[in-house]
Structure 1
Amino acid sequence: MKKILKRVGLVLLVLIISAVIWQFELVNYGLMQLRGQLRVINQSIPLEEYLQDTTITADQREKVQVVLEAKAFAFEKLGINYSENYSTIFDQQGQPSMFVITACEPFAFRPRLWNFPIVGKFPYKGFFDREKAVDEARRIREEEGMEVGLRTAGGWSTLGWFKDPVLSNMLNRSEGDLASLIIHELTHGTLFVKDSVTFNENLASFIGDRGAIMFLEEKYGEGSQEVSDFIDKNADEEAFKSYMLGAAQRLDSLYQTLTDLDLEKKVSLKAALIDDIKVNFDTVDFKSQRYVGYFDNFTPNNTFFMSLLRYNSQQDILALTLEQKFDGDLLAYLEYLKAQYPSL
């Protein structure tokens, strides 16, 4: 019996070693991310302890209260599953905590996908180390010929694997934006459909923004200045997104015609259309000056448009479903989705 157990143990050891060698890059990345996540968690402190710090500002105190209020509202009024997420805070010391890379084919809206165990495929990859993110972005650009985007993450959800903390930079947001972000991330922990990132992100954005309006209305009253300011800000964002989604459709239509052209011609036609998109951006009617000069020193590539599609391309469908099938009842809608798509 002992010999059999030894042989079984040896076989398992060989299989484990083989798996590590076969998936060395993934294992190495996983360990790196685990170290980064544990560092954030271990250096986080309870919000109650943070509020006792005499060096924090009055605005920071108020924003912590917004986090607590938005969480309670999400649990009680929106059907968000209860969790201990965002009950601690990590001091970023004004610096970003995570860097996210995305990649996309240059003449098609086909993103590069990274495959992760259990949770499935994602069109983005996060790093706690900026240099490693830059190196990976450079490698993909040079070796795979893809367009690459690199951005910082304002927040993220580990889908229940860890107790997600508030990141101190979140407290720089307006009250409505902060509530929307907290509800967005809590939605990920409530409902997450494997290999359906576009649906997951669109739904979280939809619940986040709608939930934030409801939160502000309950706190300040319908028609209040706080609600009006958030709605006006959202209106500018919607105008921006609408223009950019239309631009993405124009680019996608162009890409369909480029199949038989040489690379130089493809590059020329694409550049001309993106220049036209930038020039005509001035025709968008905004309520504020927020987007003035947006493209003065920035030329978008396909990863920029893919990100907009990923977070916003299904908003109209979600809104239509909410109104037609659930009479505008966000709680009923989310409860229905939770029954249809059990979370991981």
Structure 2
Amino acid sequence: MLKRVGLALAVLIVIFVAWQFELVSYGMMQLRGQLRVVNQSVPLEEFLADTSTTQAQKEKVQVIMEAKQFAFDELGINYSENYSTIFDQEGKPSMFVVTACDPYSFRPRTWKFPFIGRFPYKGFFVREKAVEEFNRVKEEEGLDVGLRTAGGWSTLGWFKDPVLSNMLNRSEGDLASLIIHELTHGTLFVKDSVTFNENLASFIGDRGAIMFLEDKYGKGSQEVTDYIASNEDQVMFRTYLLGASQRLDSLYKGMTDLEVDEKQVLKDQMIEQIKVDFKNVPFKSARYLSYFDDFTPNNTFFMSLLRYNSQQDVLEAQLDGEFGGDLLAYLEYLKKRYPSL
């Protein structure tokens, strides 16, 4: 009987692998990449004790440890051992992300994964594989496609997520925001709700970073003031491009009966106008002034902005209106309301 059960199970596995060969192959490739990152990571204490670690790196590691503890104690982030180790990227990106979107609407292309649902992006540890997927989707499906690197990611508890060494190049506030962002994913991640998940993590990360700096240096301190000021250009950048996304969305909705060539002309004209008008945004620093000089965005660019930032005003209104700005109470409410993976 046991032999028959074992044989039947083996047959089922073979059938499944044959039926879902591409998915199984991708999963194994990602597993190898993730295990390499995890296995080659070292405890933060070991990294701090290493004589080759610079004083600046040690200070950033201390920021990570402090931001984690603050998130656990003050923000309602669930305790985990994430970001207690570090992986040396040797200055190179570790994850490459492919996104895709309908060329004449903001309807993202999604990839389905077992258990965790659908995602509007697909990650790769090997750049060549990401480029292959980029080209395949572009040529076979005729979609707008994007390829970017990831500054960090969360495995939602499947692995102990390490600090990536490139993170240490960020400012104190940006680093705290990123760590809190990723820890938020590990605390609350709603299946098939990526836009909500990313907006929430961005919101908690941004608000949490300011609270962290206020707790560390005091409200109204130079460190807090400088961090808020450094984000003003980023806020203007997001605000302008979210408005541009709305202009494009209105254009797409109004040209459903047009031929493809006509749609493309109208789309190209509006994106060029968006680039021209961008020059008039009153940025305080030179960071964004030449942003589109050698880059013409497609729908994946605007979809990414919407995915991470389109619900910020809604979240802020709910936090301030219903919870009096109490981020801990707000996150506890959300954890009870939504089932998390």
Shorter-chain TM-score bucket reads over 0.9
Q: Which moves more between the two structures, 82-91 or 285-294?
A: 285-294
Contact 1:232 1:287 in 2 (8 A): no
Deviates more, 1:284-293 or 1:314-323: 284-293
Contact 1:183–1:207, Cα closer than 8 Å, also in 2:
yes
Q: What is residue 151 of structure 1 aligned with on the other side?
A: 148
Alignment of 1:185-196 (within 5 A): 185-196=182-193
Q: Deviations over 1:17-72 (max 9, x none)?
A: 11111111111000000000000001000000001111222111100000000000
**Per-residue deviation at 1:265?**
1.3
136-145 vs 278-287, which deviates more?
278-287
Aligned counterpart, 1:100: 97
RMSD value, Cα: 0.9
- Report deviation, 1:10: 2.5
Percent identity of paired positions between Structure 1 and Structure 2: 74
Aligned residues: 341
- Listed as ranges, the matches of 1:216-255 within 5 Å are 216-255=213-252
Within-5 A mapping of 1:267-282: 267-282=264-279
Q: Secondary structure at the match of 2:279?
A: helix
Q: Aligned equivalents of 2:102 and 2:249: distance in 1? A: 12
3-state DSSP of counterpart to 1:37:
helix
Q: Does 1:110 align with 2:107?
A: yes
CA distance in 1, matches of 2:313, 2:234: 14
Distance apart, 1:7 and its partner CA = 2.9
Q: Distance in 2 between matches of 1:78 and 1:109?
A: 33
> Counterpart of 2:306 in structure 1: which amino acid?
L
Alignment correspondent of 2:313: 316
8 Å contact kept, 1:120–1:194: yes
Contact 2:87-2:162 within 8 A present in 1 as well: yes
Mapped partners of 1:10, 1:163: distance in 2: 35
CA offsets, 1:83-123, max 9 Å, x none?
Answer: 00000000000000000000001101011100011111000
Q: Which range is displaced more, 331-340 or 257-266? A: 257-266
Structure 1 stretches of 5 or more lacking a match?
none
Return the alpha-carbon distance in structure 2 between the equivalents of residues 115 and 35 of structure 1: 20
* Partner Cα distance (2:14, 2:289) in 1: 55
Give how far 1:138 is off.
0.3
- SS of residue matched to 1:283: coil
**Contact persistence 1:104–1:111 (CA under 8 A):** yes
- Return 5+ residue gaps in structure 2 as ranges: none
Query: Does the 8 Å contact 2:283/2:289 carry over to 1?
Result: no
**1:166 equivalent in alignment to 2:153:** no
Alpha-carbon distance in structure 2 between the residues aligned to 1:242 and 1:339: 31
Contact 1:101 1:151 in 2 (8 A): yes
Give the CA deviation at 1:230.
1.2
The structure 1 residue matched to 2:281, chosen from 284, 295, 302, is 284
- After superposition, residues 7-26 of structure 1 pair within 5 angstroms as 7-26=4-23
The TM-score, its normalising length taken from structure 1, stands at: 0.98
1:313-341: CA deviation from partner (whole Å, max 9, x where unpaired): 00000000001110000000000111112
Deviation at 1:287, TM superposition (A): 2.5
Could you tell me how far apart the structure 2 residues matched to 1:265 and 1:47 are?
56
> Which residue of the partner structure matches residue 37 of structure 1?
34
**2:322 alignment partner in structure 1:** 325
Secondary structure of the equivalent of 1:19?
helix
Matched, 1:124 2:97: no
Matched residues in 1 for 2:259 and 2:230: separation?
43
